[in-house]
Amino acid sequence: MGQQRMEYPAKILEHVEARREYAIDFLRRMVNFDSSTIDHGFGGREQAIQEWLAERLAEWGFETRLFEPDNTKMQDYPDFSRGHDYRNRPNLVATLKGAGGGRSLILNGHVDTMPPGAKEKWSYDPWAGHIQGGDMIGLGVCDMKAGVAAMILAVRFLQEVGLQLNGDVMIQSVVDEEGGGNGTLACVVEGYKADAAIVTEPTRLHVQPATRGVLLLQVDVEGRATHACLKWGGVNAIEKGVKVIQGMIELERLWLAQRRNPLFPPPTITIGQIQGGLAGSQVPGDCVLKFDVKYLPVEMGPHGQEQKITGDMVKQEVENWIHTLCAGDIWLRDHLPGLSWYQHCIPHYLDPQHALVHMMRGHVQQVVGRGIISGFPAGCDARHLHNGAGIPTLVFGPGDLQYAHSIDERVSLEEYMQAIKVLALTTYQWTCQNQS
């Protein structure tokens, strides 16, 4: 190991700290852009921030490319969200060429945000980047402009220290994550690859090599409508729907007792929406239920054996459960509810023993004092990079998901600075250490 290598962690940490004010200003400028999505991703306002970032990265010597996702190229992917309009919504891919001989790395994050909701409920202008009690408050600051700023500045600060990387580093600043993830999927179909990837969604600086799967299910329960004064002649679809809900609660309880993976809470079933009937004076003839089913990518048996879980396995189990429940009800037995799975966010699972997980945890330990490995509880773009492009991918970033998609969204600036430090150390070590 050369002299430069021996001293690199201390130099990097010192320099990032010296650039604190610049880093906070950079984040505030990103928050100043309104890059919110329209109609859950069918449209979006990402262009201006993408162009601003592209200019910065080009100034710093990155090869930059802005391109709009192409729906026709993505349509065969199972996770593709249909019908979104990408005019004036470019992805940004910026590559910093390494000297050669090192491992390459993708740093990925999205710049689209949710809409602000009721603006009058915000304590401050959602695009001002106001600082209060050590937090920056702003729309999308947690999910995930702090993550995007952190990954970009991590590489920039390595340049400023004068460290030459051996492997290539690629920044992917993508659009339309909130609407389903087509921005990252577009990077996958364009053929962008690397030896590993980090998605900088908010994880409270936990290193998260896996995400849960999400399935959305619609259950159409049929009854027989009549006037309430003749209720004995009808069949109440809402009451039958309640039976299905109770059955699903039981199934969730069973999962709670039996299904586990140390990275995650147990799998869950949530009734999220119920619709039925026309008026209080009528026995309702229909009831529609919508459920969110979150499942574990891998389950651990009692003796530590691992079982990979697919969406099809979960669908089959839920369908069998509902059919068994219906078999015990004279009406439902002959009028089976319609089951339609209308969305699937496929999980991703990187072996927690992977070299990048281990390396990054060490750096979190060094910077924060304790390094925690856990699972990302929701779905995110990591699945496209990992499953679609076959790139070992983990999730790591500043911010707490509980503040995402909420009024007065915020991020801890201390956590943001720590994320830059960890990302800089990991980018340097991953791209410069000999492959072994």
Q: Which stretch binds Zn ion (CB under 5 A): 26-34, 59-67, 138-146, 207-215?
A: 138-146
Q: Which stretch binds Zn ion (CB under 5 A): 168-176, 199-207, 368-376, 394-402?
A: 199-207
Q: At its nearest, how many Å lie between Zn ion and the CB of residue 50?
A: 16
Measured from the CB atom, the residue of 135 and 143 that comes closer to Zn ion is 143
Q: At its nearest, how many Å lie between Zn ion and the CB of residue 172?
A: 14
Number of residues that bind Zn ion (CB under 5 A): 3
Among 92, 144, 151, 198, binds Zn ion (CB under 5 A): 144
Which 3 state secondary structure label does DSSP give 217? strand
- Chain centre distance of CA 59: 30
Q: Which stretch binds Zn ion (CB under 5 A): 186-194, 200-208, 325-333, 369-377?
A: 200-208
Q: What are the structure tokens assigned to 69, written together?
A: 């996702």
Q: At its nearest, how many Å lie between Zn ion and the CB of residue 155?
A: 20
Q: Is 143 in the site for Zn ion (CB under 5 A)?
A: yes
Which residues are bridge partners to 355 per DSSP?
Answer: none
Q: At its nearest, how many Å lie between Zn ion and the CB of residue 144?
A: 5
Which residue, judged by CB position, is nearest to Zn ion in the bound state? 143
CA distance 296 to 349: 9
Measured from the CB atom, the residue of 47 and 184 that comes closer to Zn ion is 184
Q: Where in 222-251 is the site for Zn ion (CB under 5 A)? A: none
Give 3-state DSSP helix, strand, coil % of the chain, rounded to 5.
40, 25, 35
Measured from the CB atom, the residue of 57 and 404 that comes closer to Zn ion is 404
Residue type, 58: A
Measured from the CB atom, the residue of 201 and 409 that comes closer to Zn ion is 201
Contact 46, 35 (CB under 8 A): yes
Q: At its nearest, how many Å lie between Zn ion and the CB of residue 109?
A: 8
Measured from the CB atom, the residue of 201 and 299 that comes closer to Zn ion is 201
| Peptide bond just before 144 cis, omega within 30 deg | yes
Q: What are the structure tokens assigned to 75, written together?
A: 């349509």
Q: Which stretch binds Zn ion (CB under 5 A): 194-202, 216-224, 282-290, 422-430?
A: 194-202
Q: Is 420 in the site for Zn ion (CB under 5 A)?
A: no
In what side-by-side order are the strands of the sheet with 135-137?
130-132, 135-137, 410-412
Give CA separation, 84 vs 44, 144, 165, 174, in Å: 9, 21, 37, 14
CA distance 106 to 35: 22
Measured from the CB atom, the residue of 416 and 428 that comes closer to Zn ion is 416
DSSP type of residue 398: S
Q: Where in 44-63 is the site for Zn ion (CB under 5 A)? A: none
The set of residues, in sequence order, having a beta carbon less than 8 Å from that of 434 and lying 6+ positions away, is: none
Measured from the CB atom, the residue of 31 and 325 that comes closer to Zn ion is 31
**Interface mask toward Zn ion for 252-291; x: CB under 5 A:** ----------------------------------------
Q: Which stretch binds Zn ion (CB under 5 A): 69-77, 195-203, 276-284, 321-329?
A: 195-203
Q: At its nearest, how many Å lie between Zn ion and the CB of residue 174?
A: 10
The set of residues, in sequence order, having a beta carbon less than 8 Å from that of 300 and lying 6+ positions away, is: 260, 261, 262, 306, 307
Neighbours of 229 (CB within 10 A): 9
Measured from the CB atom, the residue of 213 and 241 that comes closer to Zn ion is 213
Tell me the residue length of the chain.
Answer: 436
- Angle at the Cα of 422 (from 419 to 424), degrees rounded to 5? 105
Neighbours of 107 (CB within 10 A): 25
Measured from the CB atom, the residue of 199 and 309 that comes closer to Zn ion is 199
Q: At its nearest, how many Å lie between Zn ion and the CB of residue 177?
A: 5
Q: Which stretch binds Zn ion (CB under 5 A): 139-147, 284-292, 336-344, 348-356?
A: 139-147
Q: For 235-380, where are the E strands, in sequence order?
A: 268-276, 282-283, 286-295, 298-300, 306-308, 338-345, 348-349
Q: At its nearest, how many Å lie between Zn ion and the CB of residue 139?
A: 12
Which residues are bridge partners to 348 per DSSP?
Answer: 211
Name the site residues for Zn ion (rule: CB under 5 A). Answer: 143-144, 201
